[in-house]
Structure 1
Amino acid sequence: MIEFFMIRAGFLFDWIELHVESKQGLKFFATVLVSFFVAAIILIELNRRHFLPEPFASHFSLSHLAAIEQAFNLLLALEVVSLIFSLSHSVTKSVGKQFEILSLILLRDTFKEFAHFSEPLVWAEIYPSLGSIVASAVGALLIFVVLGFFYKAQRSHPITADEKIRSHFILAKKMIALLLLFSFVGICVVDLWGYFALGLPENAFSSFYTLLVFSDVLVVLISLRYSAEYQVSFRNSGYAVATVLIRLALIAPIVLGAVIGVGTTIFALGISLAYNAFAPKPESLRDVN
Structure 2
Amino acid sequence: MNLLLVVGQVYQPLQHFWESRRTAHFLSVALVWVFVASMVLAGVNYLGVFRLRGLWGQVHFLQAVEISFTLLLLFEMISLVFVIPQSIANSIGKQIEILSLILLRSSFKEFSHYNFAVPLQSQLESVYKMIADGVGALFVFLLLSVYYGLQRHRSITQEGADKQQFVALKQFISLLVLLTLLAMSGYDLYHMFRLGVWVQSADRFYLILIFADLLFMLVAFRYTLHYPDIFRYSAFVLVTVFIRFSLLAPAYYNALLGLFSVVFAIAVVYFHSLFTDGRLRYLRNPAPPE
Q: TM-score, normalised by structure 2?
A: 0.91
Partner of 2:219 in structure 1? Answer: 222
Task: After TM superposition, list the pairs within 5 Å mapping 1:26-175 onto structure 2.
Answer: 26-56=24-54, 58-119=55-116, 122-175=119-172
In 2, the alpha carbon distance for the partners of 1:70 and 1:94 equals: 25
In 1, the alpha carbon distance for the partners of 2:60 and 2:80 equals: 31
Query: CA 1:121 to 1:83, structure 2 compared with 1: closer, same or farther past 3 Å?
Result: farther
Matched to 2:204, the amino acid is S
* Contact 1:191 1:202 survives alignment (8 Å): yes
How well do the aligned residues superpose, as a CA RMSD in angstroms?
Answer: 1.8
In 2, the alpha carbon distance for the partners of 1:195 and 1:223 equals: 39
In 2, the alpha carbon distance for the partners of 1:6 and 1:145 equals: 38
Shift of 1:193: 1.4
Partner of 1:25 in structure 2? Answer: 23
Query: CA 1:5 to 1:237, structure 2 compared with 1: closer, same or farther past 3 Å?
Result: same
Shift of 1:281: 4.4
Query: CA 1:82 to 1:269, structure 2 compared with 1: closer, same or farther past 3 Å?
Result: same
Partner of 1:287 in structure 2? Answer: none
With 211-220 and 201-210 compared, the bigger mean Cα shift is at 201-210
Partner of 2:259 in structure 1? Answer: 262
Query: CA 1:4 to 1:139, structure 2 compared with 1: closer, same or farther past 3 Å?
Result: same
Matched to 2:13, the amino acid is W
In 2, the alpha carbon distance for the partners of 1:223 and 1:201 equals: 38
In 2, the alpha carbon distance for the partners of 1:31 and 1:95 equals: 28
Shift of 1:115: 0.9
In 2, the alpha carbon distance for the partners of 1:54 and 1:38 equals: 17
* Contact 1:117 1:125 survives alignment (8 Å): no
Shift of 1:60: 4.3
Matched to 1:169, the amino acid is F
Q: Which runs of 5+ in 2 are unaligned?
A: 284-290
Q: Which runs of 5+ in 1 are unaligned?
A: 285-289
Query: CA 1:52 to 1:85, structure 2 compared with 1: closer, same or farther past 3 Å?
Result: farther
In 1, the alpha carbon distance for the partners of 2:160 and 2:18 equals: 27
With 127-136 and 147-156 compared, the bigger mean Cα shift is at 127-136
In 1, the alpha carbon distance for the partners of 2:34 and 2:139 equals: 29
Deviations, residues 206-232 of structure 1 (Å, cap 9, x unaligned): 111111111100101111000101111
Deviations, residues 72-115 of structure 1 (Å, cap 9, x unaligned): 00000000011110001111111000000000000011110011
What is the percent sequence identity of the aligned residues? 32
Figure out how many residues of one structure are paired with residues of the other and give that number: 280
Partner of 1:8 in structure 2? Answer: 6
Matched to 1:31, the amino acid is V
Partner of 2:240 in structure 1? Answer: 243
The 3-state SS of whatever aligns with 1:97 is helix
Shift of 1:240: 0.5
Query: CA 1:41 to 1:172, structure 2 compared with 1: closer, same or farther past 3 Å?
Result: same
In 1, the alpha carbon distance for the partners of 2:134 and 2:103 equals: 7
In 1, the alpha carbon distance for the partners of 2:102 and 2:264 equals: 19
Find out whether 1:178 has 2:175 as its counterpart: yes
Equivalent position to 2:206, from 192, 204, 209: 209
Higher relative contact order (CA 8 A, sep 6+): 1
Matched to 1:20, the amino acid is W
Deviations, residues 226-262 of structure 1 (Å, cap 9, x unaligned): 0101111111111100101111110110210100000
Matched to 1:12, the amino acid is V
In 1, the alpha carbon distance for the partners of 2:200 and 2:270 equals: 34
